[in-house]
Structures are given as structure tokens and as C-alpha cells.
Amino acid sequence: MKNLLALAALVLMSQPAVAEDAAKWSLAIHGGAGTLDPAQMTPEKRAAYEADLQAALDAGAQILAAGGSAVDAVKAAIVILEDSPLFNAGRGAVFTWDGTNELDAAIMDGRDRSAGAVAGVKTVKNPILLADTVRTQSEHVFLIGTGAEEFAVSKGFAVTPPEYFATPARREALERLKAKQLSALDVDHKFGTVGAVALDTKGNLAAGTSTGGMTGKRWGRVGDAPVIGAGTYADNRACAVSATGWGEYFIRVGVAHEICARLRAAAEAKLALADERTPSTGVAAAEVQYVADAVMAEVASLGGDGGVIVVTPAGDALFSFNTTGMYRGRATSTGLREVAIFGGEAKASHTPDH
């Protein structure tokens, strides 16, 4: 009887901790990574970038704090960044060699690993919403070009005129590239792709990424952003990842899935070794950082660069990048709120430049 009472007391005492745990949420966003020169960043420019990052972070955080889903938080954050002309997604997307804006996006729900992606769309204001409609209202994962646009119309998306996406700064970047016969990377090393990853209070993870790709892209080139497993991946057992950078390398490494696969293996090993006396404490933040940095080092070893944002089932939100900067932000239920641009700012960890 005494033992029973003690047990009941223990159960009661442990309830607040369980409730607190259930309210845990976490969000990380990015607005691209690349060679960012602090000297070129005027206070006005910086304030404009930070304001849009903050607005995206706040929109996602508000949904998560109110008990909304990780998928909804990811969409809300990305829509704001797609609507901002500062980032290479939606309005403000880079130009193709032929002077068009071709948009790619993907979203994945870690609860059931349902995923939706679109590539090369020219008339959809918010490609992330179309990607999610592919996920929820089609039998497919990946739709491209005019077919994706037809699907959008059939699902009630408005046809947005191409001029909406075009901005003078991105057109100039294409002109410079053409005038100097440079490669896309020489001109546009500030990538500007956007992404978000989230953990909601029900323990579900989601990841999304949206981009215009690379300046001067030709021949229907598609990067990593809409490729599930390369630029975007979410699995409740492991993590949610969104990437930005030189897409060809991220596809070759399978960056987002590679990070999740390594973290899933680490979590499973801990569970297998756990018993009643030594329960699994999950994968620690330092291990997650190690894995993200190791996979980014693989990208660098092949000659690519860029960065990732990662959120885990434990609620850790972190960054890893091997460029001088990455537009980024994170917010958690523990009160963490930050936006940052250059390496070394805030508490972001990053792998060294190469």
C-alpha cells in the first residue's frame, strides 16, 4: 500500500514535466547561404533582411505556440519569404538564361513521410503551397513545368503573370552574367533560397524549401531544393532538414536524407542499448551538430558549398554552413529567438570556409 501511494505520488509529480514536454516546439528558417560581404551590407539592407526573416519566424512560431502543425508553420514562414523580393524564391527569384523565372519547391511531413514537390513553374505565386497541394491532393510526389501549372489551375490556384516574379536586381545579375560570360556561381554567390523546418507540440516534424534556382540556369536545370532527400527531408524518427547552396552537390550527397539517416541510426542505437535503469536520452544537440557538420564537410570535399537548417524530435534547432554567411533564424518554446546573417553571429555553429 505504502509502495502504491509512493508510486501514485511519483506519477502525479511527473505530470507537469510530461505536460511541459508536450508543449515543446521548435522552428528554424533560412533565406539562403553564400559569399556575403559584410562591407556590402549597409545598415538599411541588413534591417530589411532581418525584418523579413523576423516576420517569417514570427508567423511560424505563432502557429506552433498555438498548437498548430509543423507543416502549417513551415508553409506560413516560407510564404512570407516567397512574397519578399529580397529572397530567391517566389517574387525576387533569379532569372534563367532565357530571361524567365522558373520556381522549384518541396515540402515533407515527417509524421507519415508524405511529400510534395514542383519544379520549373512560372505562374504560381507561392510554389510551396502548390507543393503541399501535390502532397495532399494528388497521388504523386513531384510535378514539373506546364503539367504542374495545369494541376495548380485544376486545384484553384490563380495564374500569376510572369512580371510579378521579376525584380530589377535579379535581372541585372543575369545581364552581368551574360556580359562577362561568367558561370552562374561567379555572379550569384548569394543564393537566397528559402526554407523552414519545424517540430510541433504533437511531436511532428516538417521541412520545406523554395527557390528560383541559380541565375542563368538553362536546359530545364533543377537543383536540390525540390528533390526529396537532397534539399528537403523530414522523418519524425530523426529530423527535418532544409538546405541551400550549390544544388548539384547537395543532390550528389543526398544531404537532407543523409543527415536524417545518420541521426535515425544514432537514435536507434541509443534505444537498443537502453534499459529500465538507463533509458535512452535521445540524440544530444552536440551529436546532431556533429552529424550536420560532417555531411556539410562531404559537400565541401566534393567542391560544393552552402548550408542546412535542422530541427530534431528533442526540439534542437541548429545550422551548419560552409559559406561566409547564411540568412537564418530560429525560435523555440524555451524562449530562444534569433535572426542572424554572417558566420559567428548569434549562437550558430558553422564549418570553416574552404
Active site residues: 193
Provide the 8-state DSSP code for 38.
G
Site string for ligand ASP, 13-42 (x = CB under 6 A): -------------------x----------
H-type alpha helices, 84-202: 127-137, 145-154, 168-180, 184-187
Q: Which stretch binds ligand ASP (CB under 6 A): 2-10, 59-67, 189-197, 264-272?
A: 189-197
Site size toward ligand ASP (CB under 6 A) is 16
d(CA 130, CA 351): 34
Q: Which is nearer to ligand ASP, 88 or 320 (CB)?
A: 88
User: Minimum CB separation from ligand ASP for residue 50, in Å?
Assistant: 19
- Residue of 105, 206, 214, 266 that binds ligand ASP (CB under 6 A): 214
Name the segment binding ligand ASP (CB under 6 A); options: 124-132, 147-155, 190-198, 313-321: 190-198
Task: Note whether 211 binds ligand ASP by CB under 6 A.
Answer: yes
CB of residue 171 to ligand ASP, shortest distance in Å = 17
Q: Is 195 helix (H, G, I), strand (E, B) or coil?
A: strand
Residue with cell 514570427: 58
Span of 1-9, 73-81, 224-232, 341-349 interacting with ligand ASP by CB under 6 A:
224-232
**Residue 320 found at the interface with ligand ASP (CB under 6 A):** no
Chain residues 248-277 in contact with ligand ASP, contact rule CB under 6 A: none
Phi, psi of 177 (to 5 degrees): -60, -45
Distances (CA, A) of 289 to 212, 312, 348: 28, 11, 10
- Whether the Cβ atoms of residue 207 and residue 242 lie closer than 8 Å to each other: yes
Cβ atoms within 10 Å of 251's Cβ, excluding its own = 19
**CB of 333 within 8 A of CB of 24?**
yes
Asked if residue 102 binds ligand ASP (CB under 6 A), the reply is no
- Contact between 322 and ligand ASP by CB under 6 A: the answer reads no
- Does 236 contact ligand ASP by CB under 6 A? no
Cβ atoms of 117 and 234 within 8 Å: the answer is no
Q: Which stretch binds ligand ASP (CB under 6 A): 16-24, 219-227, 266-274, 285-293?
A: 219-227
Is the CB of residue 351 less than 8 Å from the CB of residue 296? yes
Print the binding letters for residues 82-101 with ligand ASP: x by CB under 6 A, - otherwise. ------x-------------
CB of 138 to ligand ASP, least distance (A): 23
Task: Find the part of the chain contacting ligand ASP (CB under 6 A) among 1-9, 176-184, 241-249, 279-287.
Answer: 241-249
**Contact status: 304 vs ligand ASP (CB under 6 A):** no
C-alpha cell read off for 137: 491532393
Q: Is 85 in a helix, a strand, or coil?
A: coil
Q: Does 192 bind ligand ASP (CB under 6 A)?
A: yes
Query: What is the grid cell recorded at 111?
Result: 509524421
- Report residue 62 as a C-alpha cell: 505563432
What is the Cα–Cα distance from 346 to 243, expressed in whole angstroms? 20
> Does 224 interact with ligand ASP (rule: CB under 6 A)?
yes
Contact 311, 239 (CB under 8 A): yes
What sign for the dihedral angle of Cα 193, 142, 101, 304? positive
Asked whether position 52 contacts ligand ASP by CB under 6 A, the answer is no
Interface with ligand ASP by CB under 6 A: which residues? Answer: 32, 88, 191-193, 211, 213-214, 223-225, 231, 244-245, 247, 306
